């Protein structure tokens, strides 16, 4: 099987022009097939404030109302996605920017929750591997924006971590997939305040031990649980690390690599 | 050669939710390969006003400054493009929305003009038929937003009529291409105020005669000159007509068909 790298970057990279530009140069230099999934960053929040659209929160959860959906569609699928694509082209990396609606790449449904109405938030149902494979086989890097649709014309705001995970899982039937979550820290740390305490590898046995000894920061547990879910669905490696260290991460010289066994 | 339809719609359709929805239903129903090129409409101007970004005009020409470019990228490649794609999916037409930057589909350069600096406005250099063909062969309708890039990371605001024309021309080496310009009027009229005076067909000989007798509204002449340029570059038919009459237009029962001879 050929290799594929799926990399998710978040707001800490997207909001910093210099960091984003350096990251995209590194991403462009990766040989072989690759997918970049980007989150949103602060631009949408800033635009909402400028337009007087108030951010609605219920029980600490952000709600995507109709006005917010318009804003995130413009910012994520328009501004951020097209700027990333243009920068990749400038770095001689042919790239195509897609939302989940494009080519029906990611089908989703509006989130159903017993007590909270999240508004126009999507949960992923299915990733269309046929089109993604066709693009990757043409040596085009795919840049996914965290906007999906429900098949009935409704666009939905969707978590970028989930899109990265579902895309990696779906494509692991075709490729040997590495899933990389870029992160503010250098990886999973023994001491959350000390970047030098990166745990180099975690497998199910060591994960159990780390949890039992309470050596892992509680906030990391859902992320690691998701990583193991991805590994159990066919993804080869999940790596958590700093976007600034992309090449070292992919070589196994930085970040935390989570392995199936 | 297989048939391909390239259809351009403008602001009069995009700004009217009901008209757009009806048009997209008709577009979805077209059998065979198809490309939709959309313009901008009033949403970008409205957003610019809300954000306090002034529209710059020089000698009656609109200038795309950096702030305006950000807005048109969000609105054209984000809001409008993704809403069109989602609506086509709802009409069971698999569609993919692209800017010219995506997959390097349309390369352009910043307009060079002896006296006016148009700002970030692009003139088209080349259309990448390989990717477009690959998508069309997968029975995916392509929806093009009027944003291109220069290969050096710069996005550019680009005329949608030109994108439609250049795309139709480039693909006429592979397909038998009909290029349709949707228009507020029913076609090219003998009397600009009377929609019943549509000229059914125009060929080079009748065009010469119509011009000599000054039977054509002067504003139509650049459009018709462009149509003949497209025909001379391999496009089979150019049709100008009302978007509301799409099926009649494609059947030759409405609009003005411009023919090579």
Query: What CATH number does the domain containing B142 carry?
Result: 3.40.1160.10
Same domain, A18 and A53: yes
Q: Name A69's Cβ contacts closer than 8 Å, sequence gap at least 6.
A: A119, A120, A155, A156, A157
Interface membership of B152 toward A (CB under 8 Å): yes
Q: How far is CA B13 from CA B21, B42, B98, B182, in A?
A: 9, 11, 19, 9
Regarding whether A154 and A49 lie in a shared domain, the answer is yes
Report the interhelical angle of B17-29 vs B81-90 (nearest 10°). 50
Contact residues, chain B, for A50 at CB < 8 Å: 50-51
User: Is the Cβ pair B86, A51 closer than 8 Å?
Assistant: no
Q: Cβ of A157 under 8 Å from any chain B Cβ? A: no
pLDDT of residue A57: 79
Distance between CA atoms of residues B257 and B255, nearest Å: 6
Say yes or no: B172 contacts chain A, CB-CB below 8 A: no
| Residue A176: inside a domain | no
Query: What residues of B are designated binding site?
Result: 40-41, 62, 157
* Whether residue A195 is found in the same domain as residue A95: no
Cβ contact, residue pair B86, A131, below 8 Å: no
Query: Would B240 be classed as within a structural domain?
Result: no
Nearest CA in chain B to A77: B78
Residue that terminates a domain, selected from A164, A193, A211: A164
Q: Tell me: do A12 and A138 sit in the same domain.
A: yes
- Asked whether residue B43 is domain-assigned, the answer is yes
**B94, part of any domain:** yes
Q: What is the ipTM of this complex?
A: 0.95
- pLDDT per residue over A217-261, tens digit each? 888 888 899 999 999 999 999 999 999 999 999 998 999 999 988
Both A6 and A134 in one domain: the answer is yes
Q: A130 with A222, same domain?
A: no
Q: Which of B86, B98, B154 sits opposite A154 (nearest CB)?
A: B86
Give CA–CA dist B214/B101, Å, rounded. 42
pLDDT attached to residue B177: 98
A157 is in an annotated binding site: yes
Tell whether A128 is covered by a domain.
Answer: yes
Q: Could you tell me which of B241, B210, B247 has the C-alpha nearest to residue B225?
A: B210
**A154 and A196, same domain (yes or no):** no
The whole-angstrom separation of Cα B214 and Cα B206 is: 12
| Residues A114 and A11 grouped into a single domain | yes
Considering the domain architecture, whether residues A196 and A146 belong to the same structural domain is answered as no
**Whether residue A200 sits in one domain with residue A97:** no
pLDDT at A55: 84
Q: What is the structure's pLDDT at B167?
A: 98
Domain count, chain A: 2
The dihedral over CA atoms of A225, A228, A234, A240, expressed in degrees to the nearest 10, equals 90
Report chain B residues whose CB lies below 8 A from the CB of A135.
Answer: 103
Report CB contact under 8 Å: B77, A75. no
Structural domain contains residue B44? yes
Residues lower than pLDDT 70 in chain A: 60
Write down the pLDDT at residue B55: 84
Report mean pLDDT in 10-residue bins for chain B, 261 residues: 96 94 97 96 92 84 91 97 98 98 97 92 96 98 98 96 97 97 91 90 95 87 92 96 94 93 84
Supply the range of the domain harboring residue B63: 1-27+38-158
CA A14 vs. chain centroid, Å, equals 12
For residue B60, being part of any structural domain is answered with yes
**What integer pLDDT is reported at residue A192 of this predicted model?**
83
Residue A174 maps to a domain: no
């Amino acid at each position: 099987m050929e290799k594929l790298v799926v990399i998710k970057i978040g707001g800490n990279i997207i909001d910093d022009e210099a960091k984003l530009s350096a990251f995209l140069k590194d991403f462009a230099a990766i040989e072989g097939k690759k997918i970049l999934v980007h989150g949103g960053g602060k631009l949408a929040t800033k635009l909402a404030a400028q337009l007087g659209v108030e951010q609605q929160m219920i029980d600490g959860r952000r709600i995507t109302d109709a006005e917010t959906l318009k804003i995130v569609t413009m910012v994520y699928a328009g501004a951020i996605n097209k700027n990333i694509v243009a920068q990749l082209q400038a770095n001689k990396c042919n790239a195509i920017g897609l939302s989940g609606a494009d080519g029906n790449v990611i089908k989703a449904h509006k989130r159903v929750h017993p007590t909270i109405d999240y508004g126009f938030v999507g949960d992923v149902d299915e990733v269309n591997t046929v089109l993604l494979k066709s693009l990757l086989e043409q040596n085009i890097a795919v840049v996914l924006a965290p906007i999906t649709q429900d098949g009935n014309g409704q666009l939905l705001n969707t978590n970028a971590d989930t899109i990265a995970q579902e895309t990696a899982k779906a494509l692991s039937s075709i490729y040997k997939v590495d899933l990389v979550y870029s992160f503010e820290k250098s990886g999973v740390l023994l001491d959350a305040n000390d970047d030098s305490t990166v745990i180099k590898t975690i497998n199910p046995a060591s994960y159990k031990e780390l949890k039992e000894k309470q050596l892992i920061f509680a906030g990391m547990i859902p992320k690691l649980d998701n990583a193991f879910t991805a590994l159990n669905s066919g993804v080869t490696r999940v790596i958590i690390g700093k976007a600034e260290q992309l090449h070292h991460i992919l070589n196994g010289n930085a970040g935390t690599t989570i392995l199936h066994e």
